[in-house]
């Protein structure tokens, strides 16, 4: 059980109202203390002398018990029963949210936030020379480690992008984590990084790629291949719509929706 799961669970009970950011700060610890005080009767032993990690798990278990998911003993150990109870909670939550909060993805080429970024043909004016130092001067500090698509044993906690895009990209990944939680981010492979800056021409073309400005990101290219349509691409599925909405709200354009292919790719430049 990850910290983000404990936060989600405590939020579901009403103990916690902070971000689901997988970072145990003061609000998270206040909620854990509240769980220990209010639900002391559910704990197998007094958690007063437990390690921090055990107290985190314990609060998650207590929340699962309150919510009726039967995690077994509230003992601070992340065993089989706890894992099954958490999986049941997450799948119920995913089911509910896809029924209730799903709205069609609109404005993929006309979201107001996209207007902050240039037309593709004006990228040089806005971003400067392709391949210049500014194209890698932005650093995106990731709220979850990303797996390198071309070397899956390697993970990164940050990547470089154009200096004007560090802020929107950082927000995109933070909000992705806070929307989905870490377990879902991993299940959906939103943590597979396919590259950002790359000084090259467009595939099969003579003009520079948006990647040459550090103004585009690819994700999980293996399951979202360049010429695949929505029938095959992983990121065309409904469960990715919240991710794409977050991208657009920060000014990104999802290639898959905008052009019907290259579902791995989003960029900070408009076609029209
Ligand atoms: Zn790309």
**Is there a domain that residue 91 lies in?**
yes
Phi, psi of 181 (to 5 degrees): 80, 155
Whether residue 210 is found in the same domain as residue 116: yes
**Is there a domain that residue 171 lies in?**
yes
CA of 211 to the centre of ligand 1 (A): 6
Whether residue 259 is found in the same domain as residue 125: yes
Whether residue 145 is found in the same domain as residue 255: yes
**Is there a domain that residue 183 lies in?**
yes
Final residue belonging to a domain, choices 53, 68, 100: 100
Final residue belonging to a domain, choices 100, 128, 152: 100
CA of 206 to the centre of ligand 1 (A): 15
**Is there a domain that residue 246 lies in?**
yes
Provide the CB-side half-sphere exposure for 169 (13 A, CA): 25
CA of 181 to the centre of ligand 1 (A): 25
CA of 1 to the centre of ligand 1 (A): 33
Distance between terminal CA atoms of the chain? 45
CA of 266 to the centre of ligand 1 (A): 7
By the 8 A CB rule, do 111 and 102 touch?
no
CA of 262 to the centre of ligand 1 (A): 7
Whether residue 84 is found in the same domain as residue 208: no
Which contiguous run of DSSP H or E holds residue 166? helix 166-187
Count the neighbouring beta carbons within 10 Å of the beta carbon of residue 13: 19
Whether residue 71 is found in the same domain as residue 195: no
CA of 265 to the centre of ligand 1 (A): 4
Whether residue 151 is found in the same domain as residue 37: no
Whether residue 91 is found in the same domain as residue 119: no
Domain count, the chain: 2
CA of 185 to the centre of ligand 1 (A): 20
**Is there a domain that residue 272 lies in?**
no
SS3 readout for 49-105: HCCHHHHHHHHHHHHHHHCCCCCCCECCCCCHHHHHHHHHHHHHHHHHHHHHCCCCC
Q: What is the pTM for the complete model shown?
A: 0.63
By the 8 A CB rule, do 199 and 133 touch?
no
**Is there a domain that residue 107 lies in?**
no
By the 8 A CB rule, do 72 and 22 touch?
no
SS3 144: strand
Residues spanned by the domain of 95: 3-100
Whether residue 208 is found in the same domain as residue 136: yes
CA of 264 to the centre of ligand 1 (A): 7
Sequential pLDDT tens for the chain (272 residues): 999 999 999 998 889 988 888 899 999 999 999 999 999 999 999 999 999 999 999 999 999 998 888 898 999 998 888 888 888 888 777 665 433 333 456 677 778 899 999 999 999 999 999 999 999 999 999 999 999 999 999 999 999 999 999 999 999 999 999 999 999 999 999 999 999 999 877 766 667 889 999 999 999 999 999 989 888 999 999 899 999 999 999 999 999 988 888 999 999 999 88
């Amino acid at each position: 059980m990850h910290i983000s799961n404990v936060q989600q669970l405590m939020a579901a009970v009403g103990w916690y109202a902070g971000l689901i950011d997988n970072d145990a700060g003061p609000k998270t610890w206040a909620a854990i203390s509240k769980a220990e005080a209010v639900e002391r009767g559910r704990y197998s032993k007094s958690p007063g002398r437990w390690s921090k990690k055990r107290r985190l798990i314990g609060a998650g278990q207590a929340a699962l018990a309150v919510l009726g998911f039967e995690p077994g003993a509230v003992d601070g150990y992340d065993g089989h029963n706890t894992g099954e109870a958490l999986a049941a909670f997450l799948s119920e939550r995913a089911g509910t949210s896809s029924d209730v909060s799903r709205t069609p993805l609109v404005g993929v080429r006309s979201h107001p936030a996209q207007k902050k970024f240039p037309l593709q043909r004006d990228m040089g004016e806005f971003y400067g020379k392709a391949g210049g130092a500014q194209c890698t001067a932005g650093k995106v500090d990731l709220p979850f480690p990303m797996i390198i698509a071309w070397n899956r044993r390697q993970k990164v906690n940050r990547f470089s992008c154009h200096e004007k895009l560090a802020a929107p990209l950082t927000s995109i990944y933070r909000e992705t984590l806070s929307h989905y939680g870490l377990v879902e981010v991993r299940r959906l492979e939103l943590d597979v990084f396919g590259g950002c800056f790359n000084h090259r021409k467009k595939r099969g073309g003579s003009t520079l790629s948006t990647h040459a400005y550090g103004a585009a990101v690819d994700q999980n290219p293996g399951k979202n291949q360049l010429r695949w349509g929505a029938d095959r691409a992983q990121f065309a599925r409904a469960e990715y719509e919240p991710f794409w909405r977050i991208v657009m709200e920060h000014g990104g354009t999802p290639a898959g929706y905008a052009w019907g292919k290259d579902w791995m790719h989003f960029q900070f430049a408009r076609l029209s």
